[in-house]
Each structure stands twice: as C-alpha cells, then as structure tokens.
Amino acid sequence: MAEAKWANLTHNILEIIFSYIDLSDLRVCALVCKNWYKFLNDEDNDVWRMHCVRKLAEEALRSDILSSVPTYKAKLRAFYHAWDPRECSRNVYIKSNGFTLHRNPVAQSTDAAKGKIGFRTGRHCWEVWWEGPLGTVAVIGIATKEAPVQCPGYVALLGSNSESWGWNLVDNHLLHNGDSQGNYPQLNNAPKYQQVMDFAPMVPVQVGERIRVILDCEDNTLAFERNYEFLGVAFRGLPDKKLYPAISAVYGNTEVSMVYLGHPLDG
C-alpha cells in the first residue's frame, strides 16, 4: 500500500523531493516505478533545472557555450564530461565556467588536456570550440590515460605517440604514433581556416571554430563534423582502451571549450 502511494505522488511533490537528492541517487530512483522513470526521463523538468543551477556556473548557463545542448539534464551531463583539471598540462587552467581551458603564454611548450570521462563502449559526440588563435600547431582528437599532457617545443603532441590520435587543424594532417596518417578531410574543397593578421609583429594567426568529434567504440572509428557537414572517418581500428576527448595547443592565451553532446544521432 505504501509503495502504491509513493508511486502516485504528484509531479509537484516529486519535483521538490528529487531536487534535494544527489544525482547518483536519482539513477536508483528512476528504477523504483514506471511513474518515477517517466518523470525523471523528462530531461527539461524543474528537477534537472534545479540541479543544473546548483552545479553549473552562472557564466556557463548564460553564455552560448551550451547552445548546442538543449535540455537541463544534457547540460549537467556535459558538465561531468568537461575538461579534467587533473589531466591538464601545468601551463593550462580551467576557467570558472567549467568548460573552457586557457593556455598560459609559456614559450617552447606544447600543452594538452583531456576530458573527465573516457569511453570504451557506445557511440559518443562532443563539440570542440577553439575560441582563440590556433597558432602553428592545434590538434583535436582522443587519447588514453597514458598519453602525456606536456612536452618541450612546439609540436603536435596529440598524435605523437601510440596513445593518442589527432587532427592538426593547421595543416589538415592526421597524426598517430608520431607519423602523418595522410591529409584530412578527403573532400574536393576541404575546409581551411581563415588567415587574419595580428597587430605588431604582423604575423599570420589561424582562427578556429566549432568542430564535432564523433567516437564510435562499436566500429572503433573516429570522425569529425564541421558546420553539420560530415567530413568522413579519420581513424579506423582504434584499440579496446578507454579513450578520452583531448586537444593539444601551443599558442599563448588561446582558449578551447569542450561540450559533450551524447549519442551522435540524438537530435
């Protein structure tokens, strides 16, 4: 009898109760009954909104960083998949919004960062937004836990060893194990990044934009998408290891945001 009463609580009461329950416990709550599962499966109700307001910085909620993430639950999910402060170069820090890294202007250093959560199964998509100049080397891709996050000089750190795979946005080369895996994307009019002139000393600076990364752990492939145009599979035969979103950068004061979007076919 008591179970039936709990299952029939109104949505207003459920909102109040669930808004004070830890996120990890909400997963268990969703398994209690069909009514609770259906209620918590609504990713934009007030329960997720309240948790979102508590966990996420107001800066992130008000900016357009999360513009590609439509629901409150998805925004929370993106936050828990964002850059990992423990897996960043010492020359990189995560800004207060939780989604954007800033590379300090340190000479003769290449610096990398990884996401908090790695993937070994399923299909996953995230968006990388290179908000500052690319510099001479700017690589996006994936890495294992063993891949280094810093090295001397200005090099393509991501893709420089057997533990990482990357696309250098500056020269359109794919990199793995220290070798070029060919040009990418294989299109007739491959997208190139606009060259602009910085003020003194008037050197060319690359300007990037949002790119979606698609990791398919079922087919062991990595692909990219730009302006909703699928650019093709970049890497095949990925290993059966936990793979993390990653980037490596060399340009001082450049900033890179990463937002996890979930399954590539969602939405």
Q: Which residue has the tokens 């207003």?
A: 12
**Burial environment of residue 74 by CB neighbours within 10 A (0 to 12, 13 to 18, 19 or more):** buried
3-state secondary structure at position 187: coil
**CA–CA distance, 147 with 141 (Å, rounded to integer):** 12
Query: Who has greater pLDDT, 34 or 254?
Result: 254
Q: Which CATH class is domain 82-262?
A: mainly beta
Q: Given this model, what pLDDT does residue 267 score?
A: 47
pLDDT per residue as tens digits for the range 135-150: 899 999 999 999 999 9
Q: Given this model, what pLDDT does residue 228 score?
A: 84
Q: What percentage of residues in the chain have a pLDDT greater than 70? A: 87
**Burial environment of residue 189 by CB neighbours within 10 A (0 to 12, 13 to 18, 19 or more):** exposed
**CA–CA distance, 229 with 85 (Å, rounded to integer):** 31
pLDDT per residue as tens digits for the range 13-58: 777 777 777 777 777 877 778 777 787 777 778 788 888 888 888 8
pTM (predicted TM-score) = 0.85
- Helix (H), strand (E) at residue 84: strand 83-88
Domain ranges across the chain: 6-60, 82-262
| Percent of residues in the chain assigned helix, strand, coil, to nearest 5 | 20, 35, 45
**Burial environment of residue 112 by CB neighbours within 10 A (0 to 12, 13 to 18, 19 or more):** buried
- Band of residue 157 on the pLDDT scale cut at 50, 70, 90: very high
Q: Kindly state the tokens that stand for 161.
A: 């060893």
Say if domain 6-60 classifies as CATH 1.20.1280. Answer: yes
Same fold, 6-60 and 82-262: no
